[in-house]
Chains A and B, each alone.
Chain A
Amino acid sequence: MEALSKPVLVIGGGIAGIQASLDLADQGVHVYLVERSPSIGGKMARLDKTFPTLDCASCILTPKMVSVARHPNIELLTYSEVVEVRGSAGDFHVKVLKKPRYVDEDKCIGCGECISKCPSKVPDEFNLGMSNRKAIYFLFPQAVPLKATIDREHCLYFTKGICRVCERFCPTKAINFEQKPETLELNVASIIIATGYELMDPGLAPTYGYGRYLNVYTSLEFERLVSSTGPTGGEIMRRSDKKHPRSIAFIQCVCSRDVKINPNCSAFCCMASVKHAILAKEHLPEVDCTIFYMDLRAFGKGYQEFYNRAMREFGVRFIKAKPAKIEEDPETRDLIVTYEDTFEGIKKSMKFEMVVLAVGVKPVYPEALPLTVGEDGYIRLRNPYLEPISTTIDGVYVVGVAAGAKDIPDSVIQAGSAAIKASIIAGGVKA
């Protein structure tokens, strides 16, 4: 199938951006998919399993990533950022800055030889700093494209002017320390923003002690902790003593549904925590799991049933309360959670060996676009009912969590919906 139309720009290579790109490409539209990190995959690539089916996230995502990489209509621009957008629907002029990987993408075969030889260890952002990577690295082993990237800030050559070990061991002479940033100019008919989210700073809820107490985790950290590809190979162990916790508390609505910090509901945390509790029970059958929640939002297909299973089959305890504070027992590093028992109307506290905070999300937007943001912090839409994905700029669409917190199926649906609209603007169907 040949492209008969003008290209479309998709910004963000998470599941929403991937799906939008594939839908467009399959409609014969040429797509530029711009991703700022070295690999596509987004947050979903970090997930171990997905609710409510417990499908392993990699198993359903990686094939899509592979399809993106080999689709003739998709031009994948990873480690790149959109820096300027001019023009209007049907005729946008976009500047994309391609950051230097210091590795020639055409030559790199992804053998990993350089990585095994690199002497410089750096906290691994993919595992949220819970393990180390090298200064030359793949974002994760199933990265697409599987091309090494040199992290200039930590590379011994760039910082101290010595080493170049990677260059010596690269079998294809792909290392290029002279690589410069490159600016590409694209002309596209339409733009789809799928830039996703980042977690709110858990420090905004200081009473929970994240950062101070070793055994308090964010839900994304816990996700990596239970993942077989994560820093512990799927072993749930405490930061403080590397022991399996015998009890875990999951606290919902941290930095969300809180008028002082962020009033929005993050839509997926309830189910993510239910899933985490089930996974914890699967990994450690003896572990005691408690979920503190305000309203358990099990609204999607099969979610309520999943929630019921967590209660009945896995014996996960649910307490309707928003804990007031967490304190650490300095000896054991256990955590004391204080909450109001709404049943009895009294303050209670409970001790846990690990606490996982379901931290709320905030959207991420490309700065190059003059977008208006609404009171809720999300992009203002032209008409939330009739054109739920249209921004106030004609021809620019927003999908996924960038358009409001949502789960994977809803992100995939929005991506499809945006793809057909962008494809209409791109034109060129031979009907």
Chain B
Amino acid sequence: MEIPYTVEAHPETGLNNGKIGIWLFLTSEVMLFGALFATFIMLRLGSDGNWAAMQAEAELNIPLATLNTAVLIASSLTMVMAWASLMRGQLGRFKLFGWLTVGCGGIFLVIKYFEYTAKFEHHHYPESSTFLAIYFAMTGLHALHVIGGMAWNAYFTGPGSKVFHTNRQWLTDRVEHSGLFWHFVDLVWIFLFPVFYLL
């Protein structure tokens, strides 16, 4: 038994199943991070003007976070280049860009690890203030998404890429879908960075 439209596009919608599925998933992610941003706004509004003090006390490392932003943006570029390489039929370049993407995710996490441990060394824990609580909640959840995205990309770049020779379109589509997720994670960070570090 074959499920229709796993690879080829549905004549009416012009899309395959996976594309619709990943976008629906992203809408639920929008609501998930939306709820957390709503919590953030509520905590900030309800802080009686203590927010800046809590933020200052948390001593977030702006240069590291800027570097991390650059790393994630670069990984978005390599991600979309990986897909473009598949579109052009270049397996080698796809693998190069794919691993670069995973590597960027890894660098991001390593920097994140240094940031977190620096906090803990100064006894800045989630329980210390509401600022740190929502900071750890949101960046932590974001980091989990990065890990998920890395696993996903690593699968398609590594073992999953064998399909290239039998069903190239399938692989290209899957990479496009994992790319959508990856870009979304990048997009969330684009908001997290100024919201926590700069504003």
Query: Does chain A bind chain B?
Result: no
Q: Which residues of A are interface residues toward B (Cβ below 8 A)?
A: none
Q: Which residues of B are interface residues toward A (Cβ below 8 A)?
A: none
